[in-house]
């Protein structure tokens, strides 16, 4: 399957940026990632996908310092592709190495931030995963507020369930476990329930006292 099939509906696409264990922290992966980006980023940009992902890769015995140096070299190699097409490369997807992705190098925000700051391109930023960074370091709001200019995209998911049971909004896991209600056959009825809708009390005329008293829509994050 093409890596860009069906990415039109999401804000973060895959354009051939390696995979979680094997990506930018090893120089031998750079040529293949660059080739894929040159082919796929123009397609993603045309489809309206403004962010594409790449990864640090696993340590596998490599020091974090050497991995950061190699990742900076690789991102400097591909950053102009994103700049030319208005597409941001989320340089290092922050993931945890305690539970889900053992040995992953970009397992703290400080490592990823150091990398993107060294590359210093408006089109190379961090993918900040709230679930993973809560496991690794906590203090999420302060980190986000301090570094928001270096973050291109957020991922989030429920941390109270085992990894396989987490529902990532918009992910295959979330879609697979989503409850789909049948479409109503007429206003207030459905194929499984033809009884008339229950009478509701009239809404209160009192407006909400503040914005925080209103419930955010699906996917809304409030800090």
Establish if 216 belongs to a structural domain: no
Determine, yes or no, domain membership for 186: no
Residue 34 counted as domain residue = yes
Tally of structural domains, the chain: 1
**Residue 134 pLDDT:** 87
The pTM of this model reads 0.66
Dihedral sign from CA coordinates of 92, 62, 79, 142: positive
- Give the count of beta carbons closer than 10 Å to the beta carbon of residue 3: 16
Domain that holds residue 90: 7-175
Residue 11 maps to a domain: yes
Residue 210 lies in a domain: no
pLDDT tens track, the chain, 223 positions: 444 333 334 578 889 999 999 999 999 999 999 999 999 999 998 988 889 999 999 999 999 999 999 999 999 999 999 999 987 776 567 776 777 788 999 989 999 999 999 999 999 999 998 988 888 888 899 999 999 999 988 888 754 444 454 444 444 333 333 333 344 444 544 444 444 555 555 544 444 443 333 333 333 333 3
Q: Would 90 be classed as within a structural domain?
A: yes
Helix (H) / strand (E) element for 97: namely none
Q: Quote the CA–CA distance of 88 and 194 in Å, as a whole number.
A: 49
Residue 44 in domain: yes
Is the residue at 70 inside a domain?
yes
* Cα–Cα dist 222/1, whole Å: 36
pLDDT at 171: 43
Calculate the alpha carbon distances from 111 to 31, 40, 75, 108 in Å.
23, 27, 14, 6
Q: What is the CATH number of the domain that holds 58?
A: 3.20.20.150
């Amino acid at each position: 399957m093409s890596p860009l099939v069906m990415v039109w509906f999401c804000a973060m696409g895959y354009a051939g940026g390696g995979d979680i264990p094997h990506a930018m922290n090893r120089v031998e992966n750079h040529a293949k990632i660059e080739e894929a980006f040159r082919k796929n980023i123009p397609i993603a940009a045309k489809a309206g996908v403004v962010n594409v992902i790449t990864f640090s890769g696993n340590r596998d015995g490599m020091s974090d310092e050497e991995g950061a140096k190699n990742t900076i070299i690789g991102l400097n190699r591909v950053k102009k592709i994103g700049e030319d097409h208005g597409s941001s490369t989320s340089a290092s997807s922050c993931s945890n190495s305690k539970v889900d992705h053992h040995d992953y190098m970009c397992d703290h925000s400080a490592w990823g931030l150091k990398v993107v700051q060294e590359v210093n391109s408006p089109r190379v930023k961090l993918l900040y995963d709230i679930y993973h960074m809560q496991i690794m370091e906590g203090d999420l709001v302060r980190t986000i507020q301090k570094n928001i200019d270096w973050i291109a995209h957020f991922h989030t998911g429920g941390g109270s369930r085992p990894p396989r049971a987490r529902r990532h909004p918009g992910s295959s896991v979330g879609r697979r476990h989503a409850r789909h209600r049948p479409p109503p056959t007429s206003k207030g009825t459905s194929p499984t329930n033809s009884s008339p809708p229950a009478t509701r009390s009239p809404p209160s005329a009192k407006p909400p006292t503040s914005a925080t008293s209103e419930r955010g829509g699906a996917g809304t994050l409030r800090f």
